Chains A and B, each alone.
Chain A
Amino acid sequence: MPRMRMNQAIAQAIADEMRSDPTVVVFGEDVAEAGGPFKTTDGLLIEFGPNRVRDTPISEMGFLGAAVGAAATGLRPVVEIMFIEFLGVALDQLVTQGSKFRYLSAGKVTVPMTIRASVGAGLGFAAQHSQTLESWMLASPGLKVASASGAENAYGLLRSAIQDEDPVVFLEPRRLYAVRGDVKVGSNAAIPLGQARIVRSGEDVTIVAFGSTVRVAVDAAEQAEFSAEIIDLQTLVPWDRQAVLESVARTKRLVIVEENPYSFGWGTEIATKVASELFGDLEAPVLRVTTPDVPVPFGKALEERFLPSTSYLLAQTRYLLETGTLPRPWWEGGPT
């Protein structure tokens, strides 16, 4: 298995899709000449030429809307939103237009496009370049939402996203772009959307993570004196209910670790499902480890405090296991 950085795995997944499917085209800001601000499209222009790899003017609404149109003709556009925040400028095209065409045309007009976007904090990019914002998409029927949690699954998930017949939002945690991992490549390496990955088996507690928090959970499990099962959801819409329910039915305790505000984060959906289905089997309340309900702070020290860290997750989970009750979060003086 080749070892590469996550941004290289992404570039390779796109390149391999472009090689096997001539309808795949790539466009976005600075993706061609410069190879992408995070180098996720490096080398594509040279190999595939300016008709299939194009820089666009700074017009997110324009190029996302054009991708919807291009997808309706049968092309498979892969568009890059440099920072998920810029999707705000183009949101109509995604949640109200592209995601609804199949439904509105009774299946005639389909939109097989992939929207890639960098997400998350940890690089000192301040409040307007550090959000995750996946909750914008989760309640917009017609969209699928997946996230890489490292080089290991970025390749396989992205290949599936591009092959999918419907619009898929593919999230890429910014702080993982430069992190290396062993990557399974080739046409058999596609990872089906909607399928979670048991990253590590364990018995005492199930920790469900997504995107940037998977690494945090794995690190915590490695340091822990208890045995934690780590599940990387990989896809939020649709999320793998079966994998989570089966695991929690065994461990009887669930911790969800999310890089997003406590209120209305995706973990509430998982928590509700598990608490309802496994009511009576659980030996502790469901614990959600998140950020507080505030914008991402700019300063390094505050940003570190803000993000769910390995030591914080460990302290919170330990408290849950030892007492069978919920710890308070750090901002209410809980264990850190």
Chain B
Amino acid sequence: MRQLLTPSGDLVGEAPFGLDLCVRLYRAMVVARSYDRKCVALQKQGRLATYAPFEGQEAAQIGSAAALEPDDWMVATYRDAAAMWAQGYPMELLVAGRTGDERGGSPPDHVNVLPPSITVGGHMVHAVGLAWAERLQGSSRIAITYFGDGATSEGDFHEALNFAGVYGVGCVFFCQNNGWAISMPRSAQTASETIAQKAIAYGMPGVQVDGNDLFAVYEVTRQAVERARAGEGPTLIEAVTYRLGPHTTSDDPGRYRDAGEVEEWRRRDPLERVRIFLSERGRWDPEWQAEVEEKAAREVERAVELAESLPPPAPGDVFGGMFESPPRHLREQQATLELYRAAGEG
């Protein structure tokens, strides 16, 4: 398993980036954690729908997204808000989406991020199609897709990898093996020793990386992205990490897993080792941390305010979102509704 920065903050290889980028990515992880905890809190207050926390997976998401170009495609899941945000998805739209507003699913035009997949596994094939089509159109854009260890049991995963391998498309398959798929441990999910080794069957490189190591995640993703962009084909990355929280806000992990296991992974916190690394190089102190956290909290707060200040959608809006040119029966349904509303009778 590739590792560059140990849990105690020791560098055991060459850093893949300079200190400035390291500081930027550390800040991003702090923002991500602040966003995640805020969403959990908002959900408890009934201000968000069910939420899938990613605490513990910040390095996997921020480190991998940092290896992309800003216009590369990203196709992720319900648990990947940090990666989506890092790829330019406005935070207020991420929040809006979770309040139940479909407008949250529509980022600005320059953001090449599809809506997160709710169907486990259904989206990996989209990344294959995106990458393939970009190549057909002479573009050097690549696609990255995020998924969990559980998703590798779906037929879709195998079809996506096979297709990508055969066509040699510029696609990076980024698996966050966070130990659990709801109540199912990774060991019961697949008899393969690693998820990375599944790549062999599809004729592509497979790399296992410490998913809580920002440095190593960035390095292996960078290599996969370069390979993809150079037309050398897809890569499967298995980032070994851990879901510190529940599967979603409606799950109780105490039913199926040990508190001891969670504690053990807390000690491998992805933020902590970067903090030590920076501190040893004179780039971190408690006042700075407080300032970074406060800024992060403000950024998240602002996003929540923006999301909550969107005017609520009207009943007629349910007809608007389905087709480029709505078929006649829908046009009539919507038009009549608006007529009645305007007349104050709706």
Q: Could you list which residues of chain A lie within 8 angstroms of chain B, going by C-beta atoms?
A: 29-30, 33-35, 37, 55, 57-62, 85-86, 88-89, 124-129, 263, 292-295, 297-303, 305-306, 328-333
Which residues of B (293-340) have their CB < 8 Å from a CB of A? 312-313, 315-319, 321-322, 329-330, 332-334, 336-337, 339-340
In this complex, how many residues of chain B approach chain A with their Cβ under 8 Å: the count is 46
Q: Could you list which residues of chain B lie within 8 angstroms of chain A, going by C-beta atoms?
A: 49-50, 99-102, 118-122, 150-151, 153-156, 181-184, 188-190, 255-256, 312-313, 315-319, 321-322, 329-330, 332-334, 336-337, 339-340, 345-346
Known: A34-B182, A55-B188, A293-B330. A89 touches B119 (CB 8 A): yes
Please measure, in the bound complex, the distance between the C-alpha atom of A191 and the C-alpha atom of B337, giving whole angstroms: 43
A298 lies within 8 A of B102 (CB): yes
Please measure, in the bound complex, the distance between the C-alpha atom of A82 and the C-alpha atom of B327, giving whole angstroms: 33
Interface centre among B120, B315, B317, B346 (most CB of A within 10 A): B315
Chain B nearest CB: distance from A81 CB in Å?
12
Please measure, in the bound complex, the distance between the C-alpha atom of A34 and the C-alpha atom of B156, giving whole angstroms: 25
Known: A59-B155, A302-B317. A128 touches B333 (CB 8 A): no
B154 lies within 8 A of A34 (CB): no
A299 lies within 8 A of B183 (CB): no
B-side contacts of A88, CB under 8 Å = 119
B156 lies within 8 A of A299 (CB): no
Known: A34-B182, A126-B118. A59 touches B153 (CB 8 A): yes
Known: A34-B182, A55-B184, A298-B49. A292 touches B345 (CB 8 A): no
B150 lies within 8 A of A57 (CB): yes
Please measure, in the bound complex, the distance between the C-alpha atom of A62 and the C-alpha atom of B339, giving whole angstroms: 50
A332 lies within 8 A of B155 (CB): no
A62 lies within 8 A of B183 (CB): no
B-side contacts of A61, CB under 8 Å = 155
With beta carbons under 8 angstroms apart, the residue of A57, A292, A297, A301 that contacts B189 is A57
A58 lies within 8 A of B189 (CB): yes
B-side contacts of A300, CB under 8 Å = 100
B333 lies within 8 A of A57 (CB): no
Add 19 more A-B contacts to A88-B119, A126-B49, A298-B101 (CB < 8 A). Answer: A34-B183, A37-B182, A55-B183, A55-B188, A57-B188, A57-B190, A58-B184, A61-B155, A62-B155, A124-B100, A128-B118, A292-B333, A295-B318, A297-B318, A302-B318, A305-B318, A330-B337, A333-B336, A333-B337
7 sampled A-B residue pairs with Cβ under 8 A: A33-B255, A57-B190, A58-B121, A58-B154, A89-B119, A128-B119, A301-B313
Chain A nearest CB: distance from B97 CB in Å?
8
Please measure, in the bound complex, the distance between the C-alpha atom of A237 and the C-alpha atom of B330, giving whole angstroms: 30
